[in-house]
Structure 1
Amino acid sequence: MSTINLNPNDPFFHEERHASLAAVARRQITICGAGALGANLCETLARMGFARLRLIDHDRVEMRNLSTQPYLRGEIGAPKARALVATLYRAVQARLEPVTVTLTEQNAAQLLQGSDLVVDTFDNEAARAAVSAASRALALPCLHVGFSADGLYGNGEWEPDYQPPQAGASDPCDYPLTRPFALLLAALAARAVADFFRQGIAYTFEVTWNDLHLVYRPTTLREAARGQL
């Protein structure tokens, strides 16, 4: 196997380093939600070399977000999607598309149109249900990523088997270990995205935080997923 020697001081080092993703790097990925899961996933995919990322979120950065999400104190009050887009452009010159509107069942199909893959990381039942319905109607592959209100379980599940969870009373972001758990789930989601595009296989995953039990397996829908590429 030949080894490619890269110059770490080359201004194009980032692009060259991720040349193995070149064939799929410009697939349109739409990430729904810029919170603990969505923002960390978006950052990971951009740093991996994915070049066409659309980030949908209407929220603004709050002080409480700084412990779990990749935002800065100086960005408090700014739209999350725009703040993250600016940060990632400065970091790796990633050109992301921010969409700072509320996704609803009325506009979901329009917002998701043209996506090669949809990743849902929303934290509320209504938005998740709207993404689910729209992705099915548009025949778009869709991966839903989330974690339980007690912060002890997380998973990634593909359409059409996904069922939106019922709204809970507690906020999983209040859990002390939310950030490391969210980063673990974002890492698994990033691998699932890369595997989907490069292998044509849709992998589901689940993690139980207490015992760090992890499952990463091809879904029985892999043949259908391959047809969506």
Structure 2
Amino acid sequence: MAQQLHSNSPFFHEERHASLAPFVEQRITICGAGALGGNLCETLAKMGFTNIKLIDKDRVEMRNLSTQPYGRAEVGAPKARALANTLYRAIQTKLEPVVIELTGKNATQQLKDSTVIIDAFDNRQGRQAISDMARSLHIPCLHIGFSGDGLYGSGIWEPDYIVPRDTPGDPCDYPLTRPFALLISQLAARSIADFFQEGKRYHFEVTWNDLKITRTESKNTAG
């Protein structure tokens, strides 16, 4: 039987072309609400996903406004709660905000109920905690990030991910960070949709200088 489309639905476009309806209630946990995690969270919510948990300990700063989905009125507010309020007002998505620092001690408790985990942190300690927990509990996990100069970005699924060393530089200071961050977050959204619809884990890499995008399927099904 053909699926009944609802033209008044805010997700009509997605329903018409590639329905995610069987997967929208799957638990997606995003770690990090900055330039990558915040924009990815907004995209996934507007794609129709309804069971999103967002973990971030930081508060909105003025310098975040050019690259992240926040406004001046939210400066000083916890990022996770600010984005939860924004998405509820926009599309009535009930995002679960968690304002804590994720560590090796609390990672299992915070992430154990996830169907898929997205690591969008910008520090080695947080990434390591997520990687260790995802591997031990065999929960699919996609790590997304970009270089300190804002010229290279990638998305790597466990167990192929290697936690990088912390490097100097802040991508948020790079003039082209916003379009590049949006590009990486949208590639991550596509990879997550492919994971649910096809059961495949596609890594991706992109270099700003030549905008060459490479996607390869992970052959490793463990973890």
The two structures have a TM-score, normalised by structure 1, of: 0.92
1:140-169 alpha-carbon deviations (Å, 9 max, x no partner): 000000001111100000111211111111
Which residue of structure 2 aligns with residue 131 of structure 1?
A: 130
Which residue of structure 1 aligns with residue 140 of structure 2?
A: 141
Q: Which amino acid aligns with 1:183?
A: L
Q: State percent identity of aligned pairs.
A: 58
> Could you tell me how far 1:14 is from its partner in structure 2?
1.9
The CA RMSD over aligned residues, in Å, is 1.6
Q: How many residues align?
A: 219
Question: In structure 1, what is the Cα distance between the partners aligned to 2:115 and 2:4?
Answer: 30
Which residue of structure 2 aligns with residue 106 of structure 1?
A: 105
Whether the 8 Å CA contact 2:30–2:37 is kept in 1: the answer is yes
Question: In structure 1, what is the Cα distance between the partners aligned to 2:170 and 2:84?
Answer: 26
Whether the 8 Å CA contact 1:6–1:17 is kept in 2: the answer is no
Which residue of structure 2 aligns with residue 14 of structure 1?
A: 10
> Could you tell me how far 1:3 is from its partner in structure 2?
9.9
SS at match of 2:65: helix
1:188-213 alpha-carbon deviations (Å, 9 max, x no partner): 00000000011000000000110111
Question: In structure 1, what is the Cα distance between the partners aligned to 2:13 and 2:211?
Answer: 31
After TM superposition, the structure 1 = structure 2 runs for residues 1-229 of structure 1, keeping only pairs within 5 Å, are 6-7=6-7, 10=8, 13-19=9-15, 20-221=19-220, 223-224=221-222
1:165-184 alpha-carbon deviations (Å, 9 max, x no partner): 11111111111110100000
Unaligned runs of 5+ in 2: none
Alignment CA distance shift 1:3-1:136 (3 Å): closer
Q: Which amino acid aligns with 1:138?
A: L
SS at match of 1:206: strand
Unaligned runs of 5+ in 1: none
1:15-50 alpha-carbon deviations (Å, 9 max, x no partner): 555441110111100000000000000000000001
SS at match of 1:137: helix
Question: In structure 1, what is the Cα distance between the partners aligned to 2:200 and 2:158?
Answer: 13
Question: In structure 2, what is the Cα distance between the partners aligned to 1:89 and 1:76?
Answer: 18
Q: Which amino acid aligns with 2:23?
A: V
Whether the 8 Å CA contact 2:11–2:47 is kept in 1: the answer is no
Whether the 8 Å CA contact 1:63–1:73 is kept in 2: the answer is yes
Question: In structure 2, what is the Cα distance between the partners aligned to 1:87 and 1:210?
Answer: 33
SS at match of 1:67: coil
The two structures have a TM-score, normalised by structure 2, of: 0.94
